[in-house]
C-alpha cells in the first residue's frame, strides 16, 4: 500500500523540471454536455500535445461549494507539467454551468438538495462524453481531486462509475454535504487509495476524517498542511500543497 510517508520523502528530493513530453503545446478543449434532466454542464479538458501519444493519465478536479474550476490556483499547471491530462468541471449552478433545460440562469444558492445529489451523475456524464468523443484514451489511469462538496462528489462518483480512478485526493472531506451522503458510498470503494487533506486547526475536518476512516476499505491517509484554511483556500494559503498533491498522484499515475 502506498503510504503518506512516501510522498513526504519524495517531496524532499522532488525537482520541479518539465518532462520533455510535457514541454509541448497544451491543448485546451471546452466541453459542453447536457445532463439527463437537460441542465447544461461545462468543463475543460487540457493535455500536452505530444506527437504520437494516444493515451494520457488524467486528473479530474472537482471544486468546492460556491467556487468554480477557476479556483484551483497553480495545481492544473503543475499537473500538466508532469504530462497529465486535466479535466476541470464546473458543477451545476457554478462557473459556466448555470443554464437549466429552459435556458434559465440558475445559481447554486437557489438549488434544492435534490440537485446536489445529481452531481456524481453529472460528473459521469462529462467523463463519458470525453471518453466516447475522443480518439485519445484518458481514463485507463486516472485520479480525482475534490474539495468539500467536490470531495463528497468524488467519493460518490467513484462508487458508481464503471471505470474506477486509481486514487482520490480529498480536501476538507465532509460527511453529509448538501444531501450528498458519503460514508456508505465510501464503504463501497475497495481498490482506490485515498489521501485526505485537512487544514491546521480545522477540528471539524479532523473529526470528519476520523469518522470517515471507519468506513474506508483501503488506504485512507491524512495530511495536515501548514494552512489554517479549508477546502480550495488551502491551495492559496500554502504554496507547497500543489506539489504535495502532485507527488501523491505521481505514485499512481504515469506521467
Give the pLDDT confidence of 147-183 residue by residue, as tens digits.
Answer: 999 999 999 999 999 999 999 999 999 999 888 889 9
Q: What is the pLDDT of residue 12?
A: 39
The pLDDT tens digits of the residues spanning 86-104 come to 999 999 999 999 999 999 9
> Does residue 243 surpass a pLDDT of 60?
yes
- Confidence band, pLDDT 50/70/90 cuts, at residue 23: low
Rounded mean pLDDT, 14-21 = 42
Q: What is the pLDDT of residue 20?
A: 42
By the 10 Å C-beta count (0-12 exposed, 13-18 middle, 19+ buried), 115 is classed as buried
Angle in degrees, CA 184, 148, 116, rounded to 5:
70
Q: How confident is the prediction for the chain on average, in pLDDT?
A: 91
* Contact assessment for residue 194 and residue 167, using Cβ atoms and an 8 Å cutoff: yes
Beta bridge partners of 48: 26
The pLDDT tens digits of the residues spanning 182-201 come to 999 999 999 999 999 999 98
Q: CATH class for domain 4-250?
A: alpha beta
pTM of the shown model: 0.91
Alpha-helical regions (H) of 47-104 = 75-81
Q: How far apart are CA 129 and CA 125, in angstroms?
A: 6
Grid cell of 212 as nine digits: 470517515
Query: Residue 21's Cα: distance from chain center in Å?
Result: 23
Q: What is the pLDDT of residue 174?
A: 95
Q: How far apart are CA 207 and CA 226, in angstroms?
A: 18
Domain boundaries, the chain: 4-250
The tally of CA atoms less than 13 A away on the side-chain side of residue 208 is 23
Q: What is the pLDDT of residue 15?
A: 36
The pLDDT tens digits of the residues spanning 54-75 come to 999 999 999 999 999 999 999 9
> Does residue 221 surpass a pLDDT of 50?
yes
Amino acid at each position: 500500500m502506498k503510504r503518506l510517508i512516501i510522498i513526504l520523502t519524495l517531496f524532499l528530493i522532488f525537482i520541479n523540471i518539465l518532462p520533455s513530453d510535457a514541454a509541448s503545446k497544451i491543448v485546451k478543449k471546452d466541453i459542453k454536455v447536457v445532463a439527463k434532466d437537460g441542465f447544461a454542464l461545462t468543463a475543460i479538458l487540457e493535455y500536452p500535445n505530444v506527437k504520437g501519444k494516444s493515451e494520457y493519465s488524467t486528473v479530474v478536479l472537482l471544486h468546492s461549494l460556491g467556487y468554480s474550476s477557476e479556483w484551483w490556483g497553480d495545481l492544473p499547471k503543475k499537473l500538466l507539467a508532469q504530462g497529465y491530462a486535466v479535466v476541470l468541471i464546473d458543477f451545476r449552478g457554478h462557473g459556466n454551468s448555470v443554464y437549466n433545460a429552459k435556458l434559465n440562469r440558475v445559481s447554486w444558492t437557489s438549488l434544492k438538495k435534490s440537485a446536489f445529489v445529481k452531481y456524481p451523475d453529472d460528473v459521469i456524464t462529462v467523463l463519458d462524453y470525453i471518453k466516447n468523443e475522443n480518439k485519445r484514451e484518458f481514463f485507463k489511469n486516472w485520479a480525482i481531486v475534490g474539495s468539500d462538496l467536490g470531495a463528497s462528489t468524488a467519493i460518490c462518483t467513484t462508487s458508481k462509475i464503471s471505470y474506477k480512478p486509481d486514487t482520490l485526493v480529498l480536501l476538507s472531506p465532509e460527511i453529509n454535504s448538501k444531501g450528498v451522503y458519503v460514508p456508505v458510498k465510501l464503504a463501497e470503494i475497495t481498490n482506490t487509495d485515498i489521501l485526505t487533506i485537512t487544514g491546521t486547526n480545522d477540528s471539524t475536518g479532523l473529526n470528519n476524517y476520523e469518522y470517515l476512516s471507519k468506513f474506508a476499505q483501503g488506504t485512507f491517509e491524512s495530511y495536515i498542511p501548514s494552512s489554517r484554511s479549508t477546502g480550495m483556500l488551502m491551495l492559496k494559503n500554502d504554496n507547497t500543497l500543489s506539489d504535495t498533491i502532485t507527488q501523491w498522484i505521481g505514485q499512481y499515475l504515469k506521467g
